Each structure stands twice: as structure tokens, then as C-alpha cells.
Amino acid sequence: MFIDIDCSQMKKYNQNAYGDYFISKRYPDEAKLIAVLSDGLGSGIKANILSCMTATMLLKFIEGDQIPISKAAEIIMNSLPVCQVRKISYSTFSAIEVDDDGNAKIVEEGNPEFIWIRGNEVMKPEFRSIPSKTFKNRCLKVYRINFKLGDRVIFCSDGVTQSGLGGGRLKLGLRREGLITIVQDKLQEHPDISSTELAQYIVNQARNIETDRLPKDDISACVLYFREPRQALLFTGPPYHQEKDAEYAKMFDNFKGKKAIAGGTTANLISRELNRPITMDTTISIGKLPACSYMEGVDLVTEGILTLTKTLEYLDANTPDIDNAAGKLVKFLLDSDCITFMVGAKLNQAHYDPALPIEIEIRKNIIKKIANVLQDKYFKKVNIQYM
């Protein structure tokens, strides 16, 4: 199973820093994922520091594997200081550790209870309570759940459940019930909605019911969706051993999932081996990138290094929806969960001519950088094969 995870956040109005902190990391070797959402007391910079410290420390504790997640959470709960003014704890948190088979451990302290949806019904999981020995008002909830294909899990900060509080229509705010209704209605409409879209939708809905649409608290929603992975393959660069072209073309053809080619020579290779003509986009390329081409059975064909360099730039800066070849490649990559790169190791000497007016990166390096940003920032599963 693939776990599609994303978090959407909004700041309290008039603040310039997020008071909630979300952090997530995949561990491909252990086929697991850890995510933490923490809500710092107050708002702005102070809350940002508190929640950031809590979330990152908890993540480090859990990934260390020295102690179980419940113990790690208990230690944090017992040691979080008390705010001198409000006499409550510095921050609240929710954390999940889950493997690809859906075996999950969840801990919660102070955040609204997470919502687990299966077949658009809300499930009621059992939990174990661990009261804090040092603070009477703190209590940890520990869950062990086996998630199945199609399940969804929603974590949120109290900014979501308390949105609209004290306003005209919802005297007590949105509350858990209101949030469940919003989510169920959306899922009824779009059963396959991605975590990114659902998280954004929740946050926007929460904002919309606030008076004057100004968030009175930081709003965060983190969504997990267990589903079949969407596979994608990107073939770039001609293989080092030319005699194996036919073999690689066959591998490319046999791949089940979406396919893209980045590189003129690579496109010619596939075209020749599979006997499929290439047609070039007749529109003049926008900006500084060559236009896309088209080939039957391939979802996207672009130029190589320049487009890849620009793609990395867009991924880094988080600027999707740009109407050029790199923008299309960004969309191709982000619309997939598991991405395989077939990277040809052959060098084109002409690219290293000092007369070339711009810096052209080595293909291997740029692919490595793209893979890293896809993994770390967009939580994709990436696999690189050099040929």
C-alpha cells in the first residue's frame, strides 16, 4: 500500500509565523513513515518555536527505535514545561508511526482526536490511556490500528475544530462533528481525492466559517490516505552500452504506469527501437525551454538537461502550474507516488564545450537532486536505475 500524506496549514491572522508544526519522514529501508503534528501554545514566533521543538524532538525519539513510540511520547508529555501565564502545557502533539502494511501506532496528547474513516464511516478505535505522573491535566492516548486499503486518517489542530467559535452561526465552533460532516460530504463527492487536496479543502472550509474569514488560531490539517501506488517512469539519457538500447526500450515499453522521456537522444532511441514516430509541438517554445514532443504510448516527451534543471528549480520553489515543458514534468512527477528514474550514463561531449553559454549540469547530479527533493519535500518513493 502507498500512504499518501500531506498537511495544509494557515496562520492565525496578523501573525507572520505558523504556530502549528508538521513534520513527516519516510524510511524506505524499513518501509515505514512517521508524521508528527504539534500545536504550540499561543501564536506567532513563540508558538512556532514550541511546536517545532516538540515535533522534531518527538520525530527523532521515535525514529531512533530505542524506545517504543508510547514511551517516547510519555517522556515528552511529562517533561513539557508549563506556561507561567496560562498554567497549561507548552504544546500539544499527535504522532503516527505506520508501515506499508498499514500497521500503525498513534499517540495523542492535547490535540483533537484524529478521525479514522473507512468506507465513508467514522471508526471508533480502542485506545490505552497513560495519565501523566507529573501533571494532572495531561493524558496520553495510545492506539494500535491496522489500516486497510482505502482508509483515511485526519489529524488536525484545534484551530480546525474551534473555527467559527463565538461567531454567529456556530456558537461552539465547527467541532469534531462539523469536521466529520465536511469530510464525509467531500469524500462522497470525490472518493479518490488526494491527501493534498483534502487537507487544503479542510483548512479552507475552517477559514471560511471564521468571522470575516480571519483565522483566530493557527489551522492545520494532516491527511493520510492508504491506496494503491500510482507508478511513474522517467527515462532520461542514452544508456552507456549502446548495444543494449533494444533491451532498455523494451523495459520502458513494458513498464506499467505513466511514462515520460526527458532528452532528445533518448526520445529518438525509443522512437527507433519501438518504431513509433515523434511529432513535435508546433507552438513556439515559451521562455527558455524547448517545447514538448509527442509519441504514442508515452505521456510526456521533453528536452533533457535544460528541462530537468528547470524542473528542479520549480520543485524547490514549490511553483506548480507553469505552462512549459518543465511545468508539465513537475505535474507528471507530483501526480505519482512511486517514481522510477532510468538514467542513461552516456555523456554528450558537446555539452561540456566551454563555448556553451550556460552552465549545463551533469545528468546524474541533477537527477539525484530531483530525487532528493521529491523524497524529502513531496514524500514520494523514488528509485533510480543507472544504465
Partner 1 sequence: MSEKVSVKVCLGTTCFVMGSSNLQELIDTVPKKYGDKVEVSGVPCLGLCSIDWEFSKAPYVKVNDEVIKEATVEKVLKAIDEKLK
Q: Tell me the torsion sign for CA atoms 66, 67, 68, 74.
A: negative
Binding test (CB under 8 A) with partner 1, winner from 19, 110, 173, 304: 304
Cell numbers 508511526: residue:
97
* Residues β-bridged to residue 110: 93
Q: Which residue spans within the chain are E strands per DSSP?
A: 2-10, 20-27, 32-40, 91-99, 103-109, 115-118, 121-122, 127-131, 139-146, 152-156, 219-227, 231-236, 258-262, 279-280, 293-295, 298-302, 338-343, 381-386
Helix (H, G, I), strand (E, B) or coil at 179: helix
Binding test (CB under 8 A) with partner 1, winner from 291, 322, 338, 384: 291
Q: Does 305 bind partner 1 (CB under 8 A)?
A: yes
Cα–Cα distance between 110 and 147 in angstroms, integer? 23
Q: What's 86's DSSP letter? A: T
Interface residues for partner 1 in 356-375 (CB under 8 A)? 356-358, 360
Other beta carbons within 10 Å of 330 = 24
Length of the chain: 387
Q: Which helix (H) or strand (E) holds 251?
A: helix 245-254
Minimum distance between the CB of residue 261 and partner 1, rounded to whole angstroms?
Answer: 9
Q: Does 173 bind partner 1 (CB under 8 A)?
A: no
Contact status, residue 92 vs residue 21, Cβ threshold 8 Å: no
Minimum distance between the CB of residue 276 and partner 1, rounded to whole angstroms?
Answer: 13
Site string for partner 1, 197-216 (x = CB under 8 A): --------------------
Binding test (CB under 8 A) with partner 1, winner from 136, 171, 192, 284: 284
CB nearer to partner 1: give 56 or 265. Answer: 265
Q: Does 317 bind partner 1 (CB under 8 A)?
A: no
Q: Does 285 bind partner 1 (CB under 8 A)?
A: yes
CB nearer to partner 1: give 16 or 349. Answer: 349
Site string for partner 1, 224-263 (x = CB under 8 A): ---------------------------------------x
CB nearer to partner 1: give 194 or 266. Answer: 266
- Candidates 149-157, 166-174, 184-192, 301-309 — which segment interacts with partner 1 by CB under 8 A? 301-309
Helix (H, G, I), strand (E, B) or coil at 332: helix
Interface residues for partner 1 in 97-116 (CB under 8 A)? none
CB nearer to partner 1: give 198 or 306. Answer: 306
* Geometric angle at alpha carbon 230, from 225 and 236, rounded to 5°: 140
Binding test (CB under 8 A) with partner 1, winner from 95, 182, 301, 342: 301
Q: Does 350 bind partner 1 (CB under 8 A)?
A: yes
- Least Cα distance to 314 among 334, 294, 300 occurs for 334
Cell numbers 502494511: residue:
101
Q: Does 281 bind partner 1 (CB under 8 A)?
A: yes
Q: Does 327 bind partner 1 (CB under 8 A)?
A: no
Query: What is the total count of residues that contact partner 1 (CB under 8 A)?
Result: 30
Q: Which positions touch partner 1 (CB under 8 A)? A: 263-265, 267-268, 278, 280-282, 284-285, 288, 290-291, 293, 301, 303-306, 348-351, 353, 355-358, 360
